[in-house]
Amino acid sequence: MSSSARITRATLAKDIRLEWRSKDAINSMLFFALLVVVIFSFSFDPIAEESRHIAGGLIWVAFLFAAVVALNQTWARELRNSVLDAYRVSPAPPNALFVAKALGNFIFVCVLEALMAPLFTVFYNLRPLGPAWQLIPVAILGTWALVVNGTFFAAISIHTRSREVMLPLLLFPITIPALLAMVQATNAILTGQDSAKFWIVLLLTYDVVFTIACLLLFETVLYAE
């Protein structure tokens, strides 16, 4: 195994172990997403047949907001005891660290989605009329789109004042096309009226473009002093 892969694995294992013991991120994300579900239910009739048309938007907005909670903790944890500075002076490749952090966030948000999906189904009476299996690629590509840029922008926002506020301000405008694709794909599958193919391809393009951009620029951002 190359040194880069070993560093990725070690960092990822450390983050998962930390999360497993404290459950900070997952608990706050779960509760936050639950609150969003409940609060949204007051703005329209959640049982009505029309709720199918807005469910996609609701699910992904809830996940986006909840993901920010986990993303904000990504690097903030490393600032204590100057772990990030230690990383900067070590010869370890920066992209190994980035991939580990992005994968960690990906796993946390996927766990959140797996736990929240049944709840959404129950609360909003959802039953997909289209090909339901397509929800899986949409969820995987969509989650990666959120976390890859989220991890990168979290690394930018730790350099700023009021960093917790900064992350959504940077992340949301850039995420708009990905969010539109996730929402439209989910709606297309739930209503069964349109094909979700275009949106899945768009998500894939978004993921590829921004994964490459993050890997190319992360070193610059990490060493920015």
Which residues are at the interface with other proteins (CB under 8 A)? 149, 152-153, 156, 159-162, 166, 169-170, 172-174, 176-178, 180-181, 184, 194, 198, 202, 205-206, 209-210, 213, 217, 220-221, 224-225
Q: How far is the CB of 116 from other proteins (least distance, A)?
A: 25
Q: How far is the CB of 145 from other proteins (least distance, A)?
A: 10
CB-based contacts of 46, cutoff 8 Å, min separation 6: 40, 123, 124, 125
Nearer to other proteins, 26 or 54 (CB): 54
Q: How far is the CB of 185 from other proteins (least distance, A)?
A: 11
Nearer to other proteins, 5 or 177 (CB): 177
Q: How far is the CB of 155 from other proteins (least distance, A)?
A: 9
Q: How far is the CB of 153 from other proteins (least distance, A)?
A: 8
Phi first, then psi: what are they for 50, rounded to 5°? -70, -20
Nearer to other proteins, 116 or 141 (CB): 141
Distance CA(57)–CA(53), nearest Å, equals: 8
Give the angle subtended at the CA of 115 by the CAs of 111 and 121, to the nearest 5°. Answer: 135
Nearer to other proteins, 80 or 161 (CB): 161
Nearer to other proteins, 15 or 187 (CB): 187
Nearer to other proteins, 81 or 162 (CB): 162
Q: How far is the CB of 181 from other proteins (least distance, A)?
A: 6
Nearer to other proteins, 68 or 166 (CB): 166
Q: How far is the CB of 164 from other proteins (least distance, A)?
A: 12
Residue carrying the six token digits 């473009």: 209
Residue 110's CB: how many other CB atoms inside 10 A?
15
Residue 80's CB: how many other CB atoms inside 10 A?
8
